[in-house]
Amino acid sequence: MKPLITILALLAVSCDSSLAAEKPNIIYIISDDVGYGDLGCYGANKVKTPNLDRLAAQGCRFTDAHATASVCTPTRFAFLTGRYAWRQPGTGIAPGNAPALIAAGTTTVPSMLKAAGYKTGVVGKWHLGLGNAPKTDFNADIKPGPLELGFDYAFYIPATGDRVPCVLVENHRIVGYDAADPIEVSYGKKIGDEPTGIDPDVKLKIKGDKSHSDTVVNGIPRIGFMTGGKAARWVDEDIADTLTAKAVKFIETNKDGPFFLYLATHDIHEPMVPHPRFRGTSGCGWRGDVIHQLDWTVGEVLAALDRLKLAENTLVVFTSDNGGAIKDTYDDGTNELHALQPPNGTLRGFKGSLYEGGHRVPFLARWPGHIKAGSTSDALIAHIDTLATFSALTGEKLAPTAGPDSFNVLPALLGEGAGREHLVLQNNNQSPLALREKEWVLIEKGGGPKQAAAAVKTELFNLAADPTQKTDLTNKEPERVKAMSARLELIRSEGHSRPE
Q: Give the residue numbers marked as catalytic.
A: 72, 127
3-state secondary structure 55-80: HHHCCEEEEEEECCECCHHHHHHHHH
How far is it, in rounded angstroms, from Cα 100 to Cα 73?
12
As a whole number of Å, the end-to-end CA separation of the chain is: 51
How far is it, in rounded angstroms, from Cα 470 to Cα 334?
31
Return the amino acid letter for 351: K
How far is it, in rounded angstroms, from Cα 151 to Cα 299?
24
Would you put residue 224 in left (φ > 0), alpha (ψ -120 to 50) or beta? left
If one counts every other C-beta atom within 10 angstroms of the C-beta of residue 309, the result is 9
Taking alpha carbons only, the member of 494, 428, 413 closest to residue 78 is: 428
**Residues 225, 230, 235, 239: what is their CA dihedral angle, to the nearest 10 degrees?**
-80
- What residues does 462 pair with on adjacent strands? 440
**Residues 331, 334, 335, 336: what is their CA dihedral angle, to the nearest 10 degrees?**
140
- DSSP 8-class letter at 44: -
How far is it, in rounded angstroms, from Cα 288 to Cα 40?
12
DSSP conformation letters of 141-167: ---SSGGGGT-SEEEEESS-TTBS--B
Task: Report how far Cα 224 is from the mean position of its chain's Cα atoms.
Answer: 23
Return the amino acid letter for 27: I
Task: Report how far Cα 88 is from the mean position of its chain's Cα atoms.
Answer: 19
Return the amino acid letter for 305: L
- What residues does 360 pair with on adjacent strands? 66
Alpha helices in 149-280 (DSSP H): 239-253
Angle at 298 between CA 292 and CA 299, to 5 degrees: 85
How far is it, in rounded angstroms, from Cα 470 to Cα 462?
10
Tell me phi and psi for residue 186, to 5 degrees: -140, 135
Tell me how many helices (H) and strands (E) the chain has: 11, 21
How far is it, in rounded angstroms, from Cα 134 to Cα 97?
9
State whether residue 174 is helix, strand or coil. strand
Find the radius of gyration of the CA atoms of the chain: 23
DSSP conformation letters of 178-214: -TTS--EEESSS--SS--BTT-TT---SSEE-GGG-S
